[in-house]
Structure 1
Amino acid sequence: MTDPDSEYFDRIVDERSLQSYLADELGPADRFEVAHHQEGHSNETLFVTWGDRELVVRRPPPGETAENAHDVLREYRVIDALQDTAVRVPTTVLACEDHAVLGSDFYAMEREDGDVLRDEEPDRFGNPQARETIGHEMVDRLVEIHEVDYDAVGLEHGDFGYPPGFTQRQVRRWSEQLTWAFEVTAEEREVDALYDVMNWLYDNVPDDDEYPSTLVHGDYKLDNVMFGPGDDPEIAAIFDWEMSTLGDPFTDLGWMLSYWREPKDPEPPTPTLASTFMEREGYPTRRELIDRYERKTGFEFDNPRFYWALAVYKLAGLGEMFFRRYLEGNSDDPMYPKMREGVPALAEQAKMIIDGEMGL
């Protein structure tokens, strides 16, 4: 067993309790180790060695969370439902609702092998052809998600999600998340620009007949996929499905594009959350990614400014929730306090998109 010298680690995992639970569920093991994976910024991720098996355990952060946030059992449900589809997901192992084990819901899946592209590209992908393929893989795997027959895999309309009114609810939900965060963060500083963005989004949200209905990942971006270990870029697994639902696929496309960089772009408002290596020769432009998506799906992405601004607004909402968690002492993530300045910068970027000062 590991012995991390961290009070926060002790808050997210009781090693003896987890060991006992896994023994009951998976059978005894002669090796048990737990490590806290700190690359993500939302749900907590634990790497668990159980005998000769390498597992990933996902659980919510400790403390109070915004309503509907950090739903790991929902994440488990969608990954489990997609096991026999074309969508690249890890192999699920178990899910647990008994809070006596870790103090929260959690689930376990098999750990995948490969590279997640966060701050840098692997050396084997450092050429224009591989970079172009990375962009194509991102689009093609997103298309596979949007092609899933969600009713057939048990993610039924009306149960797992309700597509009518989805995009309108997205604007309302993220506005409510921001309001929840402001209950604490407003005592530190105000972000008035976010109210301007909020009002514009409410005034410009598409009607139901302006978008198709598909399975939606909810957090699809470059560092939520893993590329396999081969020399040719190929996505082996897609992670972080906690916000998955049924609704408007263009919200996924806008979210992915909000993280994609081009050489002409201004400096990122939150460097901690933005990688810039996509500015190098060979990476497709945002317009090229959109064109490929439209060819593959037959959908017309006619309102990119709205979806791009919505994505940045949602990112600001996440950042403000992170900042609240920091102020309340419910995270040890070093990125969270940076949201004091990061969220206002994101709000200004959203306004630039709305005003046409940033283009695709």
Structure 2
Amino acid sequence: MITEPDGVDVVRTAADAAALERPPLLIVDTVAAYLQQEGLGDGTLAWERIGEGQSNITYAIRSGGRDLVLRRGPRPPLPPSAHDMAREARIQRLLADAEVPVPAILAVCEDPAVLGVPFYVMARVDGEVVTDTLPAPFADPEQHAPLAFAAVDALADLHAVDVASGPLAGIGRPDGYLERQVRRFAGLWAGNTRRDLPLVAELADRLQGRIPRTQRHAVVHGDFRIGNLMYATGRPPRIAAILDWEMATLGDPLADLGYFTATYARPGVRETPLELTTVTRGEHFPDTAHLVERYTRRHPLDVSDLGWYEALALWKAAVFCEALYTRWRAGERPGDTFGPTLEEGVPRLLEAAHERMA
């Protein structure tokens, strides 16, 4: 872990932060003092940025012998209602009460004097995140199918949580969820782009014209993929925690299933920027059809329109990624290596969405 600030993303004091043109992501002294005040540290701090997220920012923190995780939004200015750290933490606490595997939330800070933006602190979960390489416990080909099945089982478990009553019933408005998603992301495009990609509007019209009937309501994670799962160390593969609840709400569970299958990398399927866990292209991983069949054993839903849900996921990702690309081109994401790839990555997402709608 790091103990010396770089003076750009991490600074030592609030005075150091005030001297910068762009606000830092971490202020060591104020965060250390806050953790000590909350009984979570001893006034010292070591840190390391973790995760692959392109939206909210996550740091592994060590203070007073405790391993913690701090999660905050990106640098201001922030869009209205986006990056709501207090809401994200509250949802995870409610899910923990419902026995969904999530990290324990230890503190929520909305005081701008500490870091400039709201953030929360959670317990660090020991385990493995699977992206472009397989951790040693799962390198054996016999573990590949169980790894993928553990993911889809966790999704089915999440969608089995009761949302008809109790505190979770208040985290969203499930009626009209799909219509709102199409309308919202169609409206975001014009403000997020500086180029002409006609397929965005064409797909918006086609998605709007073919919205499926929602068969049931559930907690919708909004970014459910293997890279947002923490696997417990050891065999067989088991989910220790589901991560990244920024977009969680109530809605149509097939939106999660479609997102999961659209981001699940397989041979012969067009590569997109959403394929962040490329290891599943390996021959011993199950096909998407097997994952869908396993899910529908738990939730016997009509999945004949799953292509629509996959197209929605890819189209929404194109809109989101275009915003990142525009910010990178404007110089607002210095050092970003993901932004430049989106010049071609966003069109690939749109083409993949178009294929799913065929």
Q: TM-score, normalised by structure 1?
A: 0.90
- The aligned amino acid for 2:186 is S
| Cα distance in 1 between the residues matched to 2:61 and 2:109 | 15
Q: Structure 1: which 5+ residue stretches go unaligned?
A: 356-360
Residue 321 of structure 1: how far off its partner (Å): 1.7
| Cα distance in 2 between the residues matched to 1:330 and 1:102 | 19
**Aligned residue number for residue 335 of structure 1:** 338
Is the counterpart of residue 352 in structure 1 residue 355 in structure 2? yes
Residue 4 of structure 1: how far off its partner (Å): 3.0
| Cα distance in 2 between the residues matched to 1:297 and 1:118 | 27
- The aligned amino acid for 1:79 is Q
Secondary structure in structure 2 of the residue aligned to 1:7: coil
Is the counterpart of residue 192 in structure 1 residue 205 in structure 2? no
> Given the superposition, is the C-alpha separation of residues 133 and 177 from structure 1 closer, same or farther in structure 2, using an over 3 Å criterion?
same
Match among 275, 293, 296 for residue 294 of structure 1: 296
| Cα distance in 1 between the residues matched to 2:113 and 2:331 | 23
Match among 161, 168, 172 for residue 179 of structure 2: 168
**Aligned residue number for residue 99 of structure 1:** 112
Is the counterpart of residue 251 in structure 1 residue 242 in structure 2? no
Secondary structure in structure 2 of the residue aligned to 1:155: helix
**Aligned residue number for residue 326 of structure 2:** 324
| Cα distance in 1 between the residues matched to 2:330 and 2:59 | 23
| Cα distance in 2 between the residues matched to 1:25 and 1:125 | 38
> Given the superposition, is the C-alpha separation of residues 331 and 296 from structure 1 closer, same or farther in structure 2, using an over 3 Å criterion?
same
Which has the larger displacement, 221-230 or 11-20? 11-20
**Aligned residue number for residue 125 of structure 1:** 138
> Given the superposition, is the C-alpha separation of residues 151 and 46 from structure 1 closer, same or farther in structure 2, using an over 3 Å criterion?
farther
Match among 192, 204, 209 for residue 181 of structure 1: 192
- The aligned amino acid for 2:157 is E
Which has the larger displacement, 2-11 or 211-220? 2-11
Q: TM-score, normalised by structure 2?
A: 0.90
Residue 200 of structure 1: how far off its partner (Å): 0.9
Alignment length (residue pairs): 344
| Cα distance in 2 between the residues matched to 1:57 and 1:30 | 15
Is the counterpart of residue 68 in structure 1 residue 81 in structure 2? yes
| Cα distance in 2 between the residues matched to 1:151 and 1:102 | 37
Contact 1:15 1:34 in 2 (8 A): no
Contact 2:32 2:43 in 1 (8 A): no
- Aligned residue runs from structure 1 range 110-121, under 5 A: 110-121=123-134
**Aligned residue number for residue 48 of structure 1:** 61
Is the counterpart of residue 311 in structure 1 residue 326 in structure 2? no
Secondary structure in structure 1 of the residue aligned to 2:38: helix
- The aligned amino acid for 1:289 is L
**Aligned residue number for residue 83 of structure 1:** 96
- The aligned amino acid for 1:248 is D
- The aligned amino acid for 1:49 is R
Residue 231 of structure 1: how far off its partner (Å): 2.7
Residue 264 of structure 1: how far off its partner (Å): 2.5
**Aligned residue number for residue 6 of structure 2:** 5
**Aligned residue number for residue 216 of structure 1:** 220
Is the counterpart of residue 138 in structure 1 residue 140 in structure 2? no
Residue 3 of structure 1: how far off its partner (Å): 1.8
| Cα distance in 2 between the residues matched to 1:55 and 1:142 | 25
Contact 2:70 2:122 in 1 (8 A): yes
Secondary structure in structure 2 of the residue aligned to 1:311: helix
- The aligned amino acid for 1:213 is H
Secondary structure in structure 1 of the residue aligned to 2:103: coil
Q: Structure 2: which 5+ residue stretches go unaligned?
A: 12-23
- The aligned amino acid for 2:38 is E
**Aligned residue number for residue 226 of structure 1:** 230
Match among 262, 265, 270 for residue 261 of structure 1: 265
> Given the superposition, is the C-alpha separation of residues 261 and 316 from structure 1 closer, same or farther in structure 2, using an over 3 Å criterion?
same
**Identical pairs, percent:** 33
Residue 71 of structure 1: how far off its partner (Å): 2.0
1:44-92 deviation line (CA, Å, top 9, x unaligned): 1111112121111111000223343322222111111122333111111
Residue 253 of structure 1: how far off its partner (Å): 0.4
Structure with bigger RCO (C-alpha 8 Å, 6+ apart): 1
> Given the superposition, is the C-alpha separation of residues 86 and 301 from structure 1 closer, same or farther in structure 2, using an over 3 Å criterion?
farther
| Cα distance in 1 between the residues matched to 2:272 and 2:225 | 17
